[in-house]
Structure 1
Amino acid sequence: MAERLDQPRVRSRSLLPRVQVEADASGRVSESIARFLGTPRFIVWLTVFCVVWLAWNSWGPAELRFDRATNGFTALTLMLSLQASYAAPLILLAQSRQADRDRVAAEQDRQRAERNLADTEFLAREMASLRIALSEVATRDFVRSELRNLLEDLQAEQADDEDGPPPRPTTAR
């Protein structure tokens, strides 16, 4: 919607400054995180993190333990839930961006296929016109046979002239 020039621009006031972020930056970040979450390296690091957490809180010094086994490792459960709650939307965002890219690629493929089809149809029409044109063009064998027929006709006329009546005398005036 175009801004009205006869009215002052309304600016919303905020206590926090607005951060200008490129529109696609968050998508790229979420894709990189989602890509990392789907790797064996992430599974190994998460497993190491959980094993260290459980070992420290089970066999570490009693006064330095922060998550009790008697409570069912509640803090670890909360950490893993927090990780999952962030991972799910990031994965969904990455999937929707991938779907958009797939849609664009499919459209480009469709356009390329249409161009290829148009080119193929054009070439087929050109080949058909060349075939028609070539059927109207005298080929070497056709020309030779026509020349042979003309030569035979000339030889037959010459033979008839030699065997026929003597030529008439012309009168001089």
Structure 2
Amino acid sequence: MAPERETGVRERAVSGATATSRPRGARLDQPRPPRRRLLPEWDPEAFGRLSESVARFLGTGRFIVWMTVVIVAWVVWNIAAPTGLRFDEYPFIFLTLMLSLQASYAAPLILLAQNRQDDRDRVNLEQDRRQNERSIADTEYLAREIAALRIGLGEVATRDWMRSELESILKELEVRQNGHRSDTGSFPALPAERPRGRDADDR
């Protein structure tokens, strides 16, 4: 019996286990089957929007008016109506139960709406912080560029600088001409005053 069992195991090893023979849970290339949940499933985004709309309605004057009308009608009916038609006689225990139930549901809905608003505020603050960081970086870049331009413009010859340089050159020429005139007694001809004829070298 042992040799036959060994040969059977060897044949299965040679043939190899195919992908279909493996259990489905061990496959990694296929999605796992959905698990069955005891609780009902819901869309968190839709539920959050519903909670915000309910909380927004609870914070309006319309809700207070309607709630006051319902409570007054409830009390008046259970006091003035015939005894057989009264469904909640004094001390209005059923009305107290309904108001407690309403408060127990309203508080979590308001908290959920506040949490969603806090999440939105947090995202907006993060976006504002990033925008401020980008604005600061752009401002610093522009400040550096303006400083570099001012440094570069400081090395460029401006009109006033050229005028001052020309004036200093003219003064120096006048001083030289006056000194040469006092030595020789004659005023030398400037290059522009030389005759316009051809030079001997040009011939």
Bin the TM-score by the shorter chain: 0.7 to 0.9
After TM superposition, the score normalised by the length of structure 1 is 0.81
Q: Which has the higher contact order (CA 8 A, sep 6+)?
A: 1
Q: What do you get for the CA RMSD once the two structures are aligned?
A: 2.6
Cα 1:99–1:4 change in 2 (3 A) is farther
Aligned residues: 161
* SS of equivalent residue, structure 1 residue 138: coil
In structure 1, give the amino acid aligned to 2:139.
T
Q: 156-165 or 74-83, which moves further after superposition?
A: 156-165
Deviation of 1:4 after TM superposition, in Å, equals: 4.1
1:158 lines up with 2:181 in the alignment? no
Unpaired segments ≥5 residues, structure 1: 168-173
- Structure 2: give runs of 5+ residues left out of the alignment: 1-25, 189-203
Cα distance change, pair 65–42 in 1 and its aligned pair in 2 (3 A): same
Shift in alpha-carbon separation, 1:155–1:14, aligned structure 2, 3 A: closer
Which residue is equivalent to 2:198?
none
Sequence identity (%): 61
| CA offsets 1:14-44 (integer angstroms, 9 cap, x no match) | 899x76x544111001001011111122111
Residue identity opposite 2:58 in structure 1: L
Relative to 1, partners in 2 of residues 1:35 and 1:156: Cα closer, same or farther, differing over 3 Å?
same
- Cα distance per residue 1:52-75 (max 9 Å; x no partner): 100111112322111011xx1111
1:109 maps to which of 110, 128, 137:
128
Which is greater in Rg?
A: 2
- 3-state secondary structure, aligned to 2:89: coil
CA distance in 1, matches of 2:127, 2:59: 28
